[in-house]
């Protein structure tokens, strides 16, 4: 048995595969938490079909002695709870993979350990217990004490009957017994623990955006459910009483975005969360925010299109949609956080900047970032001060007063003695409709002048690696941690990585970074290099070497390493 895991040292990739409805998500949640609480670094991510029942679903849990935050192709242990999983994951399985399954395949390329999960579960009363048994097997192999698992089960299933709780505990015990037998047979995983990790928080990208919104003083959210953005609505709705948040599931996306605009107009801090298909319906309201100069925060969880596309997969293909959304010309800010910590910090910042500049601010995540989780110290989450920019109005208040920086003092109805007039038509200084050509020109110039000041608040891209590089990798958004780990494993002193968490406006130093490199490679989860086109538009520099992926899956560390090496070796 030892040969199965001969490639394991301080970092293991465990994949559970089955069908929707088999409780694969329960396995991920339970194992991730008990592993972290036992002192292991963990990273978990999932891929799944758009099915309530059936289809194929898998979740990867990386366990390491060092912090891990990126997706691996390599599978060290595969726990298969159904048919068709091997074919689905075949490209990731090697001759060193330990495959734990109900019935071994006749395929001689793979080696198996048979465990009758279903029969054992049925003896406990229901085949659904298969996932709990599988959890116990891996937990025991990872030297997790059963008491940790018992406590988790009691907490997770506290709303259920005592009989269900006891059945789950029996299932965990059975799994641990099997895991103990495998351990004695020679399957041992050598990963060191660190008690300090027990104090870390285990947080998902969805949690980070939601908590960032709370920390940014969001007190209103409206949305029509659309994965993967729905999780933010669910999270803020769950805790709406704790943080004084009005949460509204609307009849459609048009209502959602207009309600958020109305909330800001009334003095709240509003947010909408959606995906590309839902945001497509919000274009007119984005333009409304632009002319009213009413702040707006929009979270877009990207997924593959066009149309419904692959609704439960990942992609970075909505950059241009957000950049060019809304008719007419008006400023905006577009963020794309690179990891969970960044998602927390940037979401807070989005509310401050929307308030400060009275513009729409976008937060672009994607299914990979939203659905991934890992442990991180609580002090790694940076808090921003709440910055409010509205004023108490006076009798002579004029909503669209011309100012040197283009930002008119924003009043709120009922706060002061002035009247706050807004209109979706072009308007004069007070907010009344006008068709005066000079006033129109002045208003357009006033709105666009904000861009000059926005550059003072721009987030600088992060350079990882040797600052005296000859070759430069460029990425944006959720590719950050994967490219960063690939860079470390490539180990070339002449190679660096530049990552953008704000993609518009483009940082002025971008030109300097690119011109310093002899060779630049851009890496994007889309088919047309949308960020590469934006760089060319604003710098005149075309990045010819591209690594693009658009099959619905995130980049893995291994494929980044392979493709980067191929491009560099071909210089």
Radius of gyration of the chain (CA): 26
Annotated domain spans of the chain: 2-196, 203-380, 390-455, 460-569
Q: Which one has a higher pLDDT value, 149 or 83? A: 149
CB 36, CB 197: distance < 8 Å: yes
253 or 186: which leads in pLDDT: 253
What's the pLDDT tens digit per position in 212-260? Answer: 999 999 999 999 999 999 999 999 999 999 999 999 999 999 999 999 9
What does the DSSP 8-state code read for residue 505? S
Tokens read off for 511: 């030109």
Residue 509 pLDDT exceeds 50: yes
Amino acid 114: pLDDT: 92
Distance CA 352, CA 334 (A): 14
What's the pTM value of the predicted model, to 2 decimals? 0.96
- Whole-angstrom Cα distance, residue 545 to residue 528? 12
Same CATH fold assignment for domains 203-380 and 460-569: yes
What lies within 8 Å, CB to CB, of 566 at 6+ separation is none
Query: Strands, DSSP E only, in 394-531?
Result: 410-416, 462-465, 471-476, 495-500, 502-504, 519-524
CB proximity list for 455: less than 8 A, separation 6 or greater: 505, 508
pLDDT tens-digit map of 340-350 = 999 999 999 99
- Beta-sheet pairing, 502-504 with 333-335: antiparallel
The angle, 0 to 180 degrees and rounded to 10, between the axes of the packed helices 162-185 and 130-141 is 40
Give me 564's structure tokens.
């980067």
Q: What are the two backbone dihedrals, phi and then psi, of residue 113, each rounded to the nearest 5 degrees?
A: -125, 125
- 469-495 pLDDT per residue, tens: 999 999 999 999 999 999 999 999 999
pLDDT at 2: 46
State the residue for tokens 């968490």.
Answer: 501
Which of the following CATH numbers is that of domain 203-380: 3.40.50.970, 3.20.20.80, 3.90.180.10, 3.90.1150.10?
Answer: 3.40.50.970
Query: Average pLDDT of 516-541?
Result: 98
Model pLDDT, residue 20: 85
C-beta of residue 503 within 8 angstroms of C-beta of residue 335? yes
pLDDT on residue 196: 96
Between 565 and 104, where is the model more confident? Answer: 565
Asked whether the predicted pLDDT for residue 168 surpasses 60, the reply is yes
Q: Worst-scoring range by mean pLDDT, 8-12, 60-64, 223-227?
A: 8-12
204 strand-pairing partners: 373
pLDDT over threshold 70, residue 90 = yes
User: So what's the architecture of 460-569 in CATH?
Assistant: 3-Layer(aba) Sandwich (3.40)
HSE (side-chain half, CA atoms, 13 Å) at 238: 9
- Mean residue pLDDT of the chain comes to 94
Query: Going along 86-197, which residue ranges are E strands?
Result: 98-101, 112-114
- Count the residues in the chain: 571
d(CA 146, CA 333): 49
Residue range 2-196 forms a domain whose CATH class is alpha beta
371 in Cβ contact with 45 (< 8 Å): yes
- CB contact set of 437 (below 8 Å; sequence gap of 6+): none
pLDDT > 80? residue 9: no
Provide the CB-side half-sphere exposure for 303 (13 A, CA).
27
The number of C-alpha atoms within 13 Å of 512 and in the hemisphere containing its C-beta is 8
Q: How confident is the model at residue 571 (pLDDT cuts 50, 70, 90)?
A: low
Residues 439-467 have pLDDT tens digits of 999 999 999 999 999 999 999 999 999 99
DSSP E strand stretches across 21-140: 41-48, 54-64, 77-80, 98-101, 112-114
* pLDDT recorded at residue 1: 44
Q: Assess whether pLDDT exceeds 60 at residue 8.
A: no
Q: Pairing state of beta strands 246-249 and 77-80? A: unpaired
Answer yes or no: is pLDDT of 106 > 80: no
- If one compares 101 and 9, the residue with the highest pLDDT of the two is 101
């Amino acid at each position: 048995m030892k040969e199965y895991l001969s490639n394991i040292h301080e970092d293991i990739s465990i994949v559970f595969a089955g069908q929707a409805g088999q409780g694969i998500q329960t396995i991920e949640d339970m194992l991730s938490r008990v592993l972290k609480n036992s002192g292991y670094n963990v990273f978990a991510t999932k891929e799944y079909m758009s099915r309530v029942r059936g289809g194929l679903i898998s979740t990867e849990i990386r366990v390491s002695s060092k912090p891990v935050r990126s997706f691996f192709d390599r599978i060290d242990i595969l726990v298969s709870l159904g048919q068709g999983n091997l074919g689905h994951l075949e490209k990731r399985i090697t001759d060193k993979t330990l495959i734990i399954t109900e019935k071994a395949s006749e395929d001689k390329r793979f080696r198996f350990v048979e465990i009758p999960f279903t029969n054992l579960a049925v003896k406990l009363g229901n085949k659904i217990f298969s996932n709990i048994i599988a959890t116990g097997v891996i937990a025991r192999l990872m030297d997790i004490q059963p008491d940790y698992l018992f406590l988790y089960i009691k907490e997770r299933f506290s709303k259920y009957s005592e009989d269900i709780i006891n059945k789950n505990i029996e299932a965990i015990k059975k799994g641990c017994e099997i895991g103990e037998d495998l351990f004695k047979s020679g399957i041992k995983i050598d990963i060191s623990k660190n008690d300090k990790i027990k104090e870390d928080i285990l947080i998902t990208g969805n949690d980070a955006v939601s908590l960032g919104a709370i920390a940014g003083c969001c007190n209103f959210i409206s949305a029509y459910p659309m994965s993967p953005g729905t999780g933010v609505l669910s999270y803020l709705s769950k805790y709406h009483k704790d943080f004084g948040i009005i949460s509204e599931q609307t009849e459609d996306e048009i209502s959602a975005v207009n309600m958020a605009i109305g909330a800001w107009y009334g003095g709240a801090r509003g947010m909408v969360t959606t995906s590309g298909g839902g945001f497509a319906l919000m274009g007119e309201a984005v333009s409304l925010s632009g002319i009213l100069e009413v702040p707006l925060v929009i979270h877009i969880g990207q997924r593959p299109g066009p149309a419904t596309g692959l609704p439960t997969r990942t992609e970075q293909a909505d950059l241009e949609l957000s950049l060019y959304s809304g008719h007419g010309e008006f400023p905006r800010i577009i963020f794309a956080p690179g990891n969970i910590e960044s998602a927390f910090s940037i979401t807070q910042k989005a509310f401050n900047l929307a308030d400060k500049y009275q513009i729409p601010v976008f937060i672009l995540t994607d299914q990979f970032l939203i659905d991934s989780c890992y442990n991180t110290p609580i002090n790694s989450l940076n808090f921003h001060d709440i910055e409010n920019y509205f004023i108490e109005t006076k009798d002579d208040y004029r909503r669209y007063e011309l100012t040197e920086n283009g930002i008119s003092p924003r009043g709120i109805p009922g706060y002061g003695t002035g009247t706050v007039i807004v209109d979706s038509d072009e308007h004069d200084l007070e907010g009344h409709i006008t068709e005066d050509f000079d006033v129109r020109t002045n208003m357009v110039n006033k709105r666009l002048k904000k861009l000059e000041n926005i550059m003072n608040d721009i987030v600088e891209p992060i350079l990882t690696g040797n600052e005296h590089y000859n070759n430069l990798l460029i990425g944006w958004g959720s590719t950050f941690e994967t490219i960063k780990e690939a860079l470390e494993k490539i180990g070339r002193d002449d190679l660096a990585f530049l990552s953008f968490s704000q993609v518009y406006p483009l940082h002025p130093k971008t030109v300097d970074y690119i011109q310093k490199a002899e060779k630049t490679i851009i890496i994007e989860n889309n088919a047309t290099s949308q960020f590469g086109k934006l760089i060319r538009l604003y710098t005149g520099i075309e990045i010819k070497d591209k690594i693009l992926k658009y099959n619905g899956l995130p980049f893995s560390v291994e494929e980044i390493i392979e493709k980067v090496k191929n491009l560099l070796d071909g210089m």
